[in-house]
Amino acid sequence: MWSGAVSFGLVSVPVKLYSATTNHDIRFHQVHATDGGRIRYKRTCSIDGEEVEYADIVKGFETEDGELITLDEGDLDSLPVATGHEIDVIEFVPSDQIDPLLFDKSYYLEPETKAAKPYALLREALTDTDRMAVVKVALRQRETLALLRVRGKAIVLQTMLWPDEVREPEFDILDVEVELRPQELQMAASLVESLGADFEPSDFHDEYRDAVADMIERKRTSGDSRPAPAPEKPSDDGDSMTDLLTALQRSVEAARGSSGKAPEKEAEPAPDEPAEEKAEKPEPRRRTTKKDAAKDDEEAAAPRRRTRKPA
């Protein structure tokens, strides 16, 4: 995930950094109980209730007196960014002076092939002196305080919290004087000794996670499950091209209509839109009566009026 070099004095150890821990929690999706559909959330404004596009979202900080300060991408880009790829050793401190409460995340350092010897030299020096190296490193464009400590044959980069991120226990009851008798202290010490053991992490496991996994498997094998809804597939290129051609054809027809030109006759008119170019069907021939025939004869016998052109 990250590559750089450990630098102390004139020695540089090229390394790669990998996460030393993983999370095995069983993750659930929120689904609709009726049909199993996934629950989706929309970004909405608390004032007007409208959905907000991601491009219109900025970061906001509210002060104690109720003022809102907003920072956009331009403001954030102007901040100093740590982009170095060196783990700079500041000092070596005794291991017992480091409060584990400061520990944050753990990463393994893997040496490059050519750096096997200086890597081993640093590891053995930390082990023999029982010290840890206090370092500063840039991870995800932010400078972080960290430690280098030894775990087996590997050197671990242990990121740390900044001192102001650790809270102090402000409990008034801790300042109350409590009288402890020697007999009580001796019995408490005996109880501690009776439960004493060497710590083996493999002896412990997450019983809650195991119970959840067993429940899921039991429901699956007993038939208490259903197929997950298939996600909606986006339309393929063919459908998109058809929609584009249809839109272009309608645009051309609209342009011709606005210019007064008659649209070209289509080879095959759409079934739901009858062609306008077709001739109207002739009306059925009416049955001729004697009265209608006499009227037609009179009109035919009447002399036609001829219009003379002016000289």
Return the number of other C-beta atoms located less than 10 Å from residue 3's C-beta. Answer: 11
Residue type, 264: E
3-state secondary structure of 279: coil
pLDDT grade for 274, boundaries at 50, 70 and 90: very low
Nearest-Å Rg of the Cα atoms of the chain is 43
Question: Does 140 map to a domain?
Answer: yes
- 281-301: per-residue pLDDT in tens? 444 445 444 445 444 544 444
Question: Does 200 map to a domain?
Answer: no
Read out DSSP for 110-179? EE-GGGHHHHHHHHHHHHHHTEEEEEEEEETTEEEEEEEEEETTEEEEEEE--GGGSPP---GGGGS---
**Which DSSP letter does residue 96 get?**
G
- 160-206: per-residue pLDDT in tens? 999 999 999 999 999 999 999 999 999 999 999 999 999 998 999 89
Burial of 156 (0-12, 13-18, 19+ CB in 10 A): middle
**CATH number of the domain encompassing residue 122:** 2.40.290.10
Question: Does 114 map to a domain?
Answer: yes
Residue bearing tokens 């037609």: 296
- Backbone φ and ψ for 59, nearest 5 degrees, come out as -85, 140
- 89-134: per-residue pLDDT in tens? 999 999 999 999 999 999 999 999 999 999 999 999 999 999 999 9
Percent of the chain with pLDDT over 70: 76
User: What's this model's pTM, rounded to 2 decimal places?
Assistant: 0.63
Output the six-digit token pair for 27.
Answer: 């993750």
Residue bearing tokens 């206090």: 134
pLDDT of residue 54: 87
- Residue partners of 150: CB distance under 8 A and separation at least 6: 123, 126, 127, 156
Question: Does 147 map to a domain?
Answer: yes
Tell me which residue of 133, 169, 140, 161 sits closest to 8, measured CA to CA: 133
C-alpha triplet 53, 54, 56: angle, nearest 5°: 70
Instruction: Answer yes or no: are the C-beta atoms of 82 and 143 closer than 8 Å.
Output: yes
Question: Does 208 map to a domain?
Answer: no
Average the pLDDT over 43-69 and give the result.
92
Print the domain residue range for 17.
2-22+80-164
Question: Does 69 map to a domain?
Answer: no
Bridge partner list, 19:
107
Of residues 239 and 172, more confidently modeled: 172
pLDDT grade for 233, boundaries at 50, 70 and 90: low
Question: Does 110 map to a domain?
Answer: yes
**Tally of structural domains, the chain:** 1
Question: Does 264 map to a domain?
Answer: no
Instruction: Answer yes or no: are the C-beta atoms of 139 and 2 closer than 8 Å.
Output: yes
- 62-74: per-residue pLDDT in tens? 999 999 999 988 8
Output the six-digit token pair for 144.
Answer: 């972080």
Average pLDDT over the chain, rounded to an integer? 81
- Residue partners of 54: CB distance under 8 A and separation at least 6: 43
Percent of the chain with pLDDT over 90: 48
- Residue 130 region, left (φ>0) first, then alpha (ψ -120 to 50), else beta? left
